[in-house]
Structure 1
Amino acid sequence: MEILLWLVPSAVVTAVAMCWVGWAGREGRGEVDRDVAADRLGRALQHEHPRRYAAPVPERDRSTGVAVRPSRRAS
């Protein structure tokens, strides 16, 4: 059991870092007004994005999902 004591400092540092990130991250987002967010979303949805190329059509997989071994002839 004593050999596991070397894990204690790293576990404490990890726990402290997780608490700090959880506390510091909750305040930093900032609130956006609902009307402003709706206007931004509306402008983004109205904007046309040109397509540069057509997506390739994937080849149909003819697998049945069952592995079948070829039959062997009896000697």
Structure 2
Amino acid sequence: MEILLWLVPSVAVTVLAMAWVSWAGRDGRGEVDRDVAVERLGRALAKDLPAGTRRTPPPARDRSTGIAVRPSHGPRAG
């Protein structure tokens, strides 16, 4: 049991870090008003895309048969 005492400092630091992160990340810190957030989202969605941007459908995927075929080479020298 004494050999496990070297774990105590790292466990203590980990527990303290977890407690600090849970406190720092709780709701209510830096919260934006819901109406303001909805307005910002509406403005962002109403913007036109830049001229160089276009939406294209993804390329059609080749259907795989599940069989690997090696390309044929010239006649075997023998």
Q: TM-score range by the shorter chain?
A: 0.5 to 0.7
Deviation at 1:63, TM superposition (A): 3.5
Deviation at 1:59, TM superposition (A): 3.8
Q: 1-side partners of 2:40 and 2:60: how far apart?
A: 35
Question: 1:47-66 to 2 correspondence within 5 Å?
Answer: 47-50=47-50, 51=53, 54=56, 57=59, 59-64=61-66
Q: 2-side partners of 1:6 and 1:58: how far apart?
A: 57
Unpaired stretches in structure 2, ≥5 consecutive residues? 69-78
Q: 2-side partners of 1:58 and 1:18: how far apart?
A: 46
Provide the alpha-carbon RMSD of the alignment.
2.9
1:61 to 1:8, Cα distance in 2 relative to 1, 3 A:
farther
1:25 to 1:44, Cα distance in 2 relative to 1, 3 A:
same
1:7 to 1:61, Cα distance in 2 relative to 1, 3 A:
farther
TM-score (ref. length: structure 1): 0.63
Which residue number in structure 2 is paired with residue 3 of structure 1? 3
Counterpart code for 2:59: V
Q: What's the CA shift string for 1:4-31, capped at 9, x where partnerless?
A: 2111110111001110111122267322
Unpaired stretches in structure 1, ≥5 consecutive residues? 69-75
Stretches of 4+ moved more than 4 A in 1? Answer: 52-56
